[in-house]
């Protein structure tokens, strides 16, 4: 298995699907999307969720609710071929659950997979790589929907109506500041001062209100900006890094790879636009980033969005077979 030929990224209304092959670790991070992780081939991988170590292998998958902090250890046993689905909650509501999706959770973060689920995940990986696709077969978006629905209906449960309360107005002010200044990589003490809180109060109130640390939230916003710039422009990586406040391109490459498990050059090279027929323009990317005003920030961290709607650069699809015949 060759790492350089196994990377693939699919972006669509559902969110993002990333196929990666390698041994690299991923730093602790969190995001506003549901995260479904599948082991496709190779050595098992170990993820850390809170104080738990979860094994991702041929018998287990990992399902994470939004804002669950997690990390991946480096693989000592060799490379793993993994599929990571980041699923936008609004898409989930519209395409799988209906309005009840806002009350749905995954009570267990590690669940036993089934041969049927594994077959769906492996088939999606093959289609993203352009292997064996034929005219008239289900589009990428339909395959994503089938896989996500199978996981949600198999392992999701109602959360008994538990909802987050109102967010402190000072935390809302901090969220707005982070979103407006994320490309400048603001110092978190500056954010705390802007919010009118001491550093310790700021970190405690932010984590209590949003569910993640201010640094993880800032990293998530910057990563969304990076994904949007890589997917909708042909700017050199050095320029992307500069516009996102990184002192050197190497710092940006390390940040990106530590969060997505593939470097930004591979992400751009192997990006595929979702061919969901419900999507309208199949060559347009909608990169969703929450933007809140002072009255709504933090109440629903995934409601308002900025959409980058530019034609995706033309990238010929090649047949890259990371799977055993």
Strand ranges inside the chain, DSSP E? 8-12, 15-22, 26-29, 34-42, 45-49, 52-56, 60-64, 70-72, 80-87, 104-105, 110-112, 157-158, 271-273
- Go through the chain and tell me how many residues it has: 325
In angstroms, the CA 149 to CA 92 distance is: 9
In angstroms, the CA 252 to CA 61 distance is: 30
For the chain, where are the alpha helices, taking DSSP H only? Answer: 3-6, 89-92, 115-128, 140-155, 169-181, 188-195, 199-210, 214-232, 237-243, 249-260, 264-269
In degrees and rounded to multiples of 5, residue 18 shows phi and psi of -120, 125
The burial of 202, by beta-carbon neighbours within 10 Å (0-12 exposed, 13-18 middle, 19 or more buried), is given as buried
273 within 8 A of 11, measured Cβ to Cβ? yes
Q: What angle do CA 38, 313, 233 make, to 5 degrees?
A: 95
- pLDDT per position in the chain (325 positions), as tens? 333 347 889 998 999 999 999 899 999 999 999 999 999 999 999 999 988 999 999 999 999 999 999 999 999 899 999 999 999 988 888 888 665 445 557 889 999 999 999 999 999 998 888 754 444 445 788 899 999 999 988 888 765 444 445 678 899 999 999 999 999 999 999 999 999 999 999 999 999 888 899 999 999 999 999 999 998 899 999 999 999 999 999 999 999 999 998 999 999 988 876 644 444 333 333 333 444 444 444 433 433 343 433 444 444 444 444 444 4
What domains sit in the chain, N to C, each tagged with a CATH number? Answer: 3-158 (2.60.120.10)
192 within 8 A of 153, measured Cβ to Cβ? no
In angstroms, the CA 207 to CA 274 distance is: 34
DSSP-derived letter for residue 32 is: S
């Amino acid at each position: 298995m060759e790492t350089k030929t196994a990377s693939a990224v699919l972006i669509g209304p559902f969110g993002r699907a990333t196929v990666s092959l390698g041994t690299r670790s991923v730093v602790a991070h969190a995001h506003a999307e549901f995260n479904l992780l599948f082991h496709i081939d190779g050595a098992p991988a170990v993820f850390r969720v809170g104080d738990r170590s979860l094994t991702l292998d041929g018998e287990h998958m990992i399902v994470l609710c939004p804002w669950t902090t997690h990390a991946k250890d480096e693989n000592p046993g060799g490379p793993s071929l993994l599929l990571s689905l980041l699923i936008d909650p609004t898409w989930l509501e519209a395409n799988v659950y209906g309005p009840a999706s806002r009350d749905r959770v995954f009570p267990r973060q590690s669940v036993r997979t089934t041969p049927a689920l594994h077959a769906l995940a492996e088939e999606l990986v093959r289609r993203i790589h352009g292997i064996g696709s034929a005219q008239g077969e289900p589009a990428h978006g339909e395959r994503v929907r089938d896989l996500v629905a199978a996981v949600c209906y198999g392992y999701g449960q109602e959360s008994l109506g538990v909802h987050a309360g109102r967010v402190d107005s000072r935390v809302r002010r901090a969220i707005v500041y982070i979103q407006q200044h994320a490309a400048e990589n603001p110092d978190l003490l500056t954010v705390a001062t802007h919010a009118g809180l001491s550093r310790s109060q700021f970190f405690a109130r932010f984590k209590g209100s949003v569910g993640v640390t201010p640094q993880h939230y800032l990293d998530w916003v910057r990563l969304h900006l990076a994904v949007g710039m890589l997917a909708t422009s042909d700017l050199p990586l050095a320029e992307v890094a500069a516009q996102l406040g990184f002192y050197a391109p190497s710092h940006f490459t390390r940040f990106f790879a530590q969060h997505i498990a593939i470097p930004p050059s591979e992400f751009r090279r192997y990006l595929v636009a979702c061919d969901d027929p419900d999507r309208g323009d199949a060559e347009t990317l909608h990169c969703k980033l929450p933007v809140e005003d002072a009255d709504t920030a933090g109440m629903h961290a995934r409601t308002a969005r900025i959409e980058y709607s530019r034609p995706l650069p033309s990238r010929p699809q090649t047949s890259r077979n990371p799977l055993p015949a």
